[in-house]
Amino acid sequence: MIVRPYQHWFPRLFSWHGAVLSKILFRLSLNLMMAVFAVICFQWYETLGIRLTTAPFSLLGVAIAIFLGFRNSASYARFVEARTLWGGLLIAQRSLLRQAKGALRRDPAAVKEFGDMLMAFSWSLKHQLRGTDSSEDIRRLAPESVRDEVLASPFRTNRLLLCMGAWLADRREEGAISDLLYNGMDANLNELAHILGGCERISNTPIPFAYSLIVHRTVYLFCTLLPFALVADLHYMTPLVSVFISYTFLSLESLAEELEDPFGIAANDLPLDAICNTTERLLSEMSDLSPLPAVHQPDAKFNLI
């Protein structure tokens, strides 16, 4: 995710990082070449009686704008839901560790073991959603008592959830946690399971391909033929106007594709590394560990976090 201080409106016009222009620059270049071709060949194909007008493009442009608006709304809704789930994850983890520390304040080793499993859960979920290897973070954070069990599982995040449930059951059998507190902590563990399932649903269920495909094809057909409809009225201004209109449609479609998977590593996706780092620092402080992990800093060149 891009992080930057507030910018005045004028320098913001020239912002590059975080914009989708870099992704669609080649496609805009093709549109520019098509517009130049339309200007050069205008006199030739006009003598053949071939002429496009702007009327059908006006109607089609309105339809495309409606479809792109819905497509972007659906993608942004996925982004907002994903961020809400990760916000709920931090709340549930903080509540669980607070409850464990209050009940086991005379057993700091048990509290630390539980806190380590909570921290490993966040990092494991991040790796699961991004399809990366979580082994290094599991070895770094997971307690030795469950490390091998988690590493051997093909579903490591869910296995950590099971290990936390087993830890909670053991403390109940020992009499360290009352039945009332056990029910409260179990409810928070169920919230972790709900968040895990919600993230998996977003990650594994993209927007229906047929819907994305029809929008994709219509946008590109519109942008390809647009110069031939504009050239009769705009002449040498056709390339400028055509590229500007195409930029609007292509950038909206590209942004919708980027936001569709909010757990990726694109500039506008969720900053999962920073969120996991914040969670680890918070839970470490609650467990009275020192020194705390260093604050995750954005990339100095790209302002990415």
Binned at pLDDT 50, 70 and 90, residue 57 comes out as confident
User: Domain for residue 243, yes or no?
Assistant: yes
User: Domain for residue 16, yes or no?
Assistant: yes
Domain encompassing residue 177: 5-286
User: Domain for residue 210, yes or no?
Assistant: yes
User: Domain for residue 301, yes or no?
Assistant: no
pLDDT at 302: 45
Which two three-digit tokens encode residue 23? 């992704």
Cβ-contact 288, 66 below 8 angstroms: no
Binned at pLDDT 50, 70 and 90, residue 305 comes out as low
pLDDT tens column, 207-255: 888 888 888 899 999 999 899 889 888 888 999 999 999 999 999 999 8
User: Domain for residue 294, yes or no?
Assistant: no
pLDDT tens column, 37-46: 988 887 777 6
pTM as predicted:
0.87
User: Domain for residue 305, yes or no?
Assistant: no
pLDDT tens column, 135-188: 999 999 999 999 999 999 999 999 999 999 999 999 999 999 999 999 999 999
Does a cis peptide bond (omega within 30 degrees of 0) precede residue 291? yes
Tell which wins on pLDDT, 21 or 29: 29
How many folded domains does the chain comprise? 1
pLDDT tens column, 143-156: 999 999 999 999 99
| Helix residue ranges, H only, the chain | 9-12, 21-47, 54-103, 108-130, 135-141, 144-152, 156-174, 179-204, 209-234, 238-260, 272-286
